[in-house]
């Protein structure tokens, strides 16, 4: 019997499993599809501090420091590069919003500059087009490769003895005497002292029978990938209203994304076909990104796909061990920007599972913060 069961094989679940195994615990990880099937595979792989909610900023700052050494810890490359993050303005109103964001985050100690015109922007990123009028730039931000990172985490987990079970859905949580004691699977019951629920959109359904409500809505994101191009753009870019973001990958391909609204289907029953963006979705994404990076206009289109994210009302994750449900830990609702804080999220969830304290204020991430009311906050997708 494992000491801990982790449900979910994205970056959060895998980082948590690794942190637990590094502490000497026996861990079994269950993933309903394949490792990295959801947001951890379609993400841009942004590792950013800039533009974070003030509550999340300490986690992001700690994570950035860890990303630089994570490949040593995991024993494999993650593709991490610290090349900066640009948040772009395409009109005067967006420029003022970014100027205000820079002032607020500089006051919190973040190394962040306001670039007031296209000349200043092109001094950092010459490929940026005339459709951009101002930007923020955080040189300490960066990006990693999602597939390489998931592979590195999985390899480290296996070497540490973690049992990784793909295509093994969690049907329900097992409770005895008011305590969570394991998971029901299609092949029987698996027991453990603690269960960590880190399976994105499916998390709410798993904890609901325990009387716990995790408000989330499903958002579908369009992702476009070009054919390989010569190196031309080192940073990750986002925009003031978060309707597109992108970067150039290690192999030269550009990957760009945009939020395209609610997902009308069942998040538990998605397929690549049902998530695939329409012609109109793809055209809209191209129309948004070409003015930002004009070189995309001549790039070949290699792949288009869709992904789902788990958006909470305040766009912050839940990182909690609810007092009324001993044996249960929750790490979900990362709202499209959980990749960058993955190393720290894993450590926090490990600490919650073991009853340890962390150096972070976790009050903003408690499950009970949503009640009695919750106000929906917007998406920020680029990391």
Strand 134-138 versus strand 188-191 pairing type: unpaired
- 263 has a pLDDT exceeding 90: no
- 254 has a pLDDT exceeding 90: yes
Q: Are 111 and 23 in contact (CB under 8 A)?
A: no
Q: Are 229 and 40 in contact (CB under 8 A)?
A: no
The radius of gyration of the chain from alpha carbons, rounded to an integer in Å, stands at: 20
* pTM, to two decimals: 0.95
Question: Using CA atoms, how far apart are residues 255 and 295, in angstroms rounded to an integer?
Answer: 13
pLDDT of 40 reads: 73
Cα–chain center distance at 301: 25
Q: Which two tokens stand for residue 14?
A: 């895998």
Q: Are 227 and 299 in contact (CB under 8 A)?
A: yes
pLDDT tens, residue by residue, 129-145: 999 999 999 999 999 99
CATH of region 4-76+146-214+314-370: 3.50.50.60
pLDDT tens, residue by residue, 106-124: 999 999 999 999 999 999 9
pLDDT tens, residue by residue, 28-76: 999 999 999 887 777 889 999 999 999 999 999 999 999 999 999 999 9
pLDDT tens, residue by residue, 214-232: 999 998 889 999 999 999 9
3-state SS, the chain, equals: CCCEEEECCCHHHHHHHHHHHHCCCCEEEECCCCCCCCHHHHCCCEECCCCCCCCCHHHHHHHHHHHHHHHHHHCCCCCCECCCEEEEECCHHHHHHHHHHHHHHHHCCCCCEEECCHHHHHCCCCCCCCCCCEEEEECCCEECCHHHHHHHHHHHHHHCCCEEECCCCCCEEEEECCEEEEEEECCEEEECCEEEECCHHHHHHHHHHHCCCCCCEEEEEEEEEECCCCCCCCCEEEECCCCCEEEECCCCCEEEEEEEEECCCCHHHCCHHHHCCCHHHHHHHHHHHCCCCHHHHHCCEEEEEEEEEEECCCCCCEEECCCCCCCEEEEECCCCCCCCCHHHHHHHHHHHHHCCCCCCCCHHHCHHHHCCCCCCCCCCCCC
Give percent of the chain above pLDDT 70.
96
Question: Using CA atoms, how far apart are residues 196 and 29, in angstroms rounded to an integer?
Answer: 9
Q: What is the mean pLDDT of the chain?
A: 94
Tell which wins on pLDDT, 369 or 372: 369
- 259 has a pLDDT exceeding 80: no
Q: Are 71 and 156 in contact (CB under 8 A)?
A: no
pLDDT of 187 reads: 96
Give bridge partners of residue 190 from the DSSP assignment.
183
């Amino acid at each position: 019997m494992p000491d801990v069961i982790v449900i979910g094989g994205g970056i959060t679940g895998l980082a948590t499993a690794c942190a637990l195994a590094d502490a000497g615990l026996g861990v079994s990880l269950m993933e309903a599809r394949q490792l990295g099937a959801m947001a951890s595979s379609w993400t841009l792989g942004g590792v950013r501090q800039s533009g974070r909610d003030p509550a999340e900023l300490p986690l992001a700052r700690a994570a950035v420091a860890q990303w630089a050494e994570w490949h040593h810890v995991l024993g494999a490359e993650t593709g991490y590069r610290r090349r900066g993050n640009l948040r772009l303005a395409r009109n005067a109103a967006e420029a003022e919003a970014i100027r205000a964001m820079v002032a607020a985050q500089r006051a919190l100690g973040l190394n962040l500059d306001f670039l007031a015109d296209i000349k200043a922007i092109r001094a950092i990123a010459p490929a940026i087009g005339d459709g951009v009028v101002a930007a923020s730039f955080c040189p300490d931000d960066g990006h990693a490769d999602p597939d390489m990172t998931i592979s590195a985490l999985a390899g480290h987990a296996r070497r540490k003895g973690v049992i990784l079970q793909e295509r093994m859905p969690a049907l329900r949580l097992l409770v005895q005497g008011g305590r969570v004691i394991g998971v029901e699977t299609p092949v029987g019951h698996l027991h453990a002292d603690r269960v960590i629920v880190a399976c994105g959109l499916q998390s709410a359904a798993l904890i609901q029978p325990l009387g716990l409500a995790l408000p989330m809505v499903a958002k579908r994101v369009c992702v476009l990938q070009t054919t390989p191009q010569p190196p031309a753009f080192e940073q990750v870019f986002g925009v003031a209203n978060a309707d597109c973001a992108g970067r150039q990958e290690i192999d030269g391909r550009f990957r760009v994304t945009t939020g395209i609204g609610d997902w009308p289907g069942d998040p538990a029953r998605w397929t690549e076909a049902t998530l695939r963006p329409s012609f109109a979705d793809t055209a809209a994404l191209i129309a948004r990104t070409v003015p930002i990076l004009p070189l995309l206009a001549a790039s070949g289109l290699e792949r288009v796909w869709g992904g789902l994210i788990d958006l909470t009302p305040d766009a912050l994750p839940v990182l909690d061990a609810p007092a009324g449900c001993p044996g249960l830990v929750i790490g979900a609702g990362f709202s499209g920007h959980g990749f960058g804080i993955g190393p720290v999220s894993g450590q926090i969830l490990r600490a919650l599972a073991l009853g340890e304290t962390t150096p972070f204020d976790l009050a903003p991430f408690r499950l009970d913060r949503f009640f009695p009311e919750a106000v929906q906050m917007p998406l920020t997708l680029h990391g």
